[in-house]
Amino acid sequence: MNQEKSKIIKEYFPQARFSEPLSKHCTFRIGGPAEAFIEIDDLSEQNQENLVNLTKYLQKSKIPYIIIGGGSNVLFHDKGFKGTVIKITAKTLKFTKTNLEADAGAILQNILKEASKRGFYNLQPFIGIPGTLGGAIYGNAGANGLEIKDILKEAIIFNPRLSLIYKATPETLKFKYRHSNLKETKEIVLKATLNLSKAAKHKALAKKLSAKRTQTQPYGLSAGSFFKNPDPDPTKPKLKAGYLIDQCGLKGRQIGQAKISEKHANFIQNAGTLKNPATQKDVIRLADLAKKEVRRKFKIDLKEEVQIIPHKPKKSM
């Protein structure tokens, strides 16, 4: 990126950094440098306006860009990203009697913790899901019978293509299993309002789920569940991706420094060190092996839940 473009980016966001290692900004701890990197920790009206104007400039200048949240659901390229990475880390929480208004950069597990302190336990089925609220809405995150669509009241959405910020309802976002139409429109969640509940049944469930997570989910560097569970066939028992991979005997399988967890087969982990980490190539090769074996044994095609980011995207993501 030349000096003139760098200067213009800094005019919008003086905190912009260049050649920033992306391994520092994702839970996989994998990824080379971004040409330009901007962290937005305050979604004031001024910063929202700056974001609109910056993306207009990037599009006009044909500079690829991607907007991320906590980096829990992305796998960056080992050579980095030839363009601009915008990371939204604004995380203000505002509780009312029945709702939570939150910035998209709020960490989902921190939301659960703060809600529980106030007696709101209906979010507890999300225990263990990594990442931010914005990412959860983008992919309609869910667990234990609850999806984000079930508790979302409304969201403030940014459409970079139209340079428009607007209010969306769950119906607008057209949620499906691990999917919202944001994946097609490439729009970005800025803020959201969640419905809260103090019903006693949720508190008992919270304790049960906390114990279950300790027993079943591995610790370490990963992006959480790597694959979506297959679309259910109403004529057959519901199968989960982790079970399918486990039945192929792949728990503990390692390629390079990427490893399928021995505790949960739908977790691919960076088992390397700071000096010798897993690479995007390692993870993709291991994921491809899992897909190949599941297809051979079960005639089922697994689909990635994690977003795999190329080094040189053809257009903004």
- Tally of domains in the chain: 3
Q: Are residues 108 and 174 in the same domain?
A: yes
| Helix, strand, coil distribution of the chain in percent, nearest 5 | 30, 25, 40
Q: Measuring CA to CA, how many Å separate 265 from each of 106, 228, 287?
A: 28, 12, 11
Give the pLDDT confidence of 217-246 residue by residue, as tens digits.
Answer: 687 899 989 999 998 766 777 889 999 999
One-letter amino acid at 270 equals N
41 domain residue, yes or no? yes
75 domain residue, yes or no? yes
CATH code of the domain in which 181 resides: 3.30.465.10
CB atoms inside a 10 Å sphere around CB 215: 7
Q: Are residues 101 and 196 in the same domain?
A: yes
CATH code of the domain in which 269 resides: 3.90.78.10
| Dihedral of the alpha carbons of 298, 303, 304, 309, in degrees to the nearest 10 | 130
pLDDT given at position 123: 92
Q: Are residues 97 and 155 in the same domain?
A: yes
CB atoms inside a 10 Å sphere around CB 153: 15
Give the pLDDT confidence of 284-315 residue by residue, as tens digits.
Answer: 999 999 999 999 999 999 999 999 999 998 77
Annotation marks residue 305 as catalytic: yes
Residues 35, 187, 293, 305: which is the catalytic one?
305
Q: Are residues 195 and 162 in the same domain?
A: yes
Predicted TM-score of the model (pTM): 0.89
Q: Are residues 110 and 196 in the same domain?
A: yes
Q: Are residues 97 and 190 in the same domain?
A: yes
Annotation marks residue 225 as catalytic: yes
213 domain residue, yes or no? no
Residues 178, 197, 213, 295: which is the catalytic one?
178
Instruction: Give phi and psi for 46, each to the nearest 5.
Output: -65, -45
Answer yes or no: is pLDDT of 213 > 70. Answer: no
CATH code of the domain in which 19 resides: 3.30.43.10
- Of 143, 141, 31, nearest in space to 87 by CA: 31
Of 88, 116, 141, the residue that ends a domain is: 88
% of the chain at pLDDT higher than 70? 93
Annotation marks residue 253 as catalytic: no
Of 68, 88, 108, the residue that ends a domain is: 88
Average pLDDT over all residues of the chain? 92
31 domain residue, yes or no? yes
Answer yes or no: is pLDDT of 211 > 90. Answer: no
Q: What domain range includes position 118?
A: 93-202
Residues 222, 225, 261, 316: which is the catalytic one?
225
